[in-house]
């Protein structure tokens, strides 16, 4: 399935469109299967979208009681540290959302990184076994991209890119350069829907490479799910260098 490209005018439009897609996917999954399992990335791009999730019409539209929230990756810092992905999510929407703690599955920190990865992988195993699935299959993954082409905490040239067995690994790198825990390609590529968010002119060059370079070298280019719906939700600044044929392709959609 070809990726779909949605280009919004600005960052706030991207946030609104992203919140709308989240709501749409949550309602579709809840109607179909009675639950919705999503995993969030960190970084700054998704924060405006996340804040909208607890504002109308999203706050009353999202079926919070049937939602389970996981994280794609996490920095090994305390949840109240400004660099914590879960801490940012709590500030931006979780603390204001009518979601019960048993439906929140933050990546464990405060332990050895390897142990944290093992614990999270076990949590995934136990959680998805409830749905008779022996493999984690997220209904929605929200991913970002770094200017170096990383996604999640899968950084260029890192051994984690070659992981084919483990679902969760620990790495060190990124900005901040700290120990992190991240989902691996085997799990990411099994999601039903993946939404990449990219905003700002500083992402234009890497987005052009990801979308137009046929030789997938960058970590974000190796997100190649067998049958998932992949949506690139980008603003006009991030899309500034994309070729006209990409923008006007059947999968390209100006907002
Ligand atoms: C992390 C994120 C990371 C992020 C990108 C983009 O924990 O650092 O998961 O993969 O999505 O680095 O970050 P920005 O949105 O801040 O550009």
Instruction: Identify the CA nearest to 184 among candidates 127, 135, 132, 230.
Output: 135
pLDDT exceeds cutoff 70 at 58: yes
What are the pLDDT digits (tens) for 197-240? 999 999 999 999 999 998 889 999 999 897 899 999 999 999 99
- Give the residue, by CA position, lying nearest to ligand 1 atom 10: 152
Mean local confidence (pLDDT), 47-72 = 98
What are the pLDDT digits (tens) for 80-102? 999 999 999 999 999 999 999 99
Q: How many angstroms separate the alpha carbon of residue 31 from the centre of ligand 1?
A: 31
Residue 255 confidence (pLDDT): 63
Instruction: Identify the CA nearest to 153 among candidates 163, 141, 164, 161.
Output: 161
Which phi and psi angles does 135 have, rounded to 5°? -145, 140
pTM of this prediction? 0.97
Query: pLDDT band at 23, cuts 50/70/90?
Result: very high
Beta-sheet pairing, 252-254 with 229-235: unpaired
pLDDT exceeds cutoff 90 at 154: yes
Instruction: Walk across the sheet containing 73-75 and list its strands.
Output: 73-75, 178-183, 168-173
Q: How many angstroms separate the alpha carbon of residue 45 from the centre of ligand 1?
A: 7
Which two three-digit tokens encode residue 245?
């044929």
pLDDT exceeds cutoff 80 at 179: yes
pLDDT exceeds cutoff 80 at 72: yes
Specify whether the CB–CB gap between 87 and 56 falls below 8 A.
no
Pocket test for ligand 1, best of 11, 14, 43, 170 (most atoms within 8 A of CB): 43
Which amino acids bring their CB within 6 angstroms of ligand 1?
A: 41-45, 72-73, 85, 144-146, 150-153, 174
pLDDT exceeds cutoff 90 at 252: no
Query: pLDDT band at 254, cuts 50/70/90?
Result: low
Which phi and psi angles does 132 have, rounded to 5°? 60, 30
């Amino acid at each position: 399935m070809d990726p779909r490209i949605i280009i919004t005018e600005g960052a706030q439009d991207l946030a609104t469109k992203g919140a709308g897609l989240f709501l749409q996917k949550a309602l579709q999954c809840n109607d179909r299967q009675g639950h919705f399992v999503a995993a969030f990335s960190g970084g700054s791009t998704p924060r405006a979208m996340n804040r909208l999730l607890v504002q109308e019409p999203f706050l009353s539209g999202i079926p919070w009681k049937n939602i389970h929230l996981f994280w794609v990756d996490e920095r090994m810092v305390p949840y109240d540290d400004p660099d914590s992905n879960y801490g940012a999510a709590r500030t931006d929407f979780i603390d204001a959302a009518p979601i019960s703690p048993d439906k929140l599955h933050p990546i464990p920190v405060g332990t050895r990184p390897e142990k944290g990865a093992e614990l999270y992988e076990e949590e995934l195993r136990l959680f998805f076994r409830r749905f008779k699935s022996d493999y984690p299959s997220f209904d929605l993954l929200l991913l970002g991209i770094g200017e170096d082409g990383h996604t999640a905490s899968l950084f260029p040239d890192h051994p984690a890119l070659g992981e084919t067995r483990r679902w969760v690994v620990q790495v060190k790198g990124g900005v901040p350069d700290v120990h992190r825990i991240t989902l691996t390609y085997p799990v990411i590529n099994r999601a039903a829907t993946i939404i990449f968010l990219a905003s700002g002119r500083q992402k234009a060059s890497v987005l052009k490479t990801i979308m137009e370079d046929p030789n997938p070298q960058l970590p974000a280019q190796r997100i190649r799910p067998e049958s998932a719906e992949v949506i690139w939700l980008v603003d006009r600044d991030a899309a500034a260098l994309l070729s006209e044929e990409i923008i006007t392709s059947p999968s390209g959609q100006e907002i």
